[in-house]
Amino acid sequence: MADYQLTATDASVIRTADGACIPNDDANRDWVEYQAWLAAGNYPDPYVEPPKPPPELLATEDVVFFNHENRLRGLEGKPAMTFKEFVRAKAEMRAD
């Protein structure tokens, strides 16, 4: 592990010792120290994209609503909603 790690942009680097975010600013003594570290032939660790968040789980009331909606659709002779369709419809209701 290197002393520094790159970020998604060149606006800053992360100092791995303490997790400090060092902005790209020549007036910042930490940035000047980082530049000297680079000049000495060192290489920072590459940027690592954070893991994607897990999918949002439905609340109990959403599960009840999903089941209820599909029961009503069955009574009306309509095909049941897929889970994907339900999530999309729920998102559209929130957007309104």
User: Where in the chain are the domains?
Assistant: 4-39, 60-95
Q: Which of 58, 14, 54, 8 is nearest to 34 (CA)?
A: 14
Q: Would you state the pLDDT for residue 55?
A: 74
Residue with token string 């889970």: 83
pLDDT tens digits for 3-36? 999 999 999 999 999 999 999 999 999 999 999 9
Residue with token string 């975010």: 21
**Cα separation of 92 and 77, whole Å?**
24
pLDDT tens digits for 35-94? 999 999 999 999 999 999 887 777 888 889 899 999 999 999 999 999 889 888 888 887
Q: Would you state the pLDDT for residue 96?
A: 65
22 DSSP β-pair partners: 13
> Could you give the C-alpha distances from 12 to 39, 40, 45, 51, 87, in angstroms and in order?
17, 19, 13, 20, 38
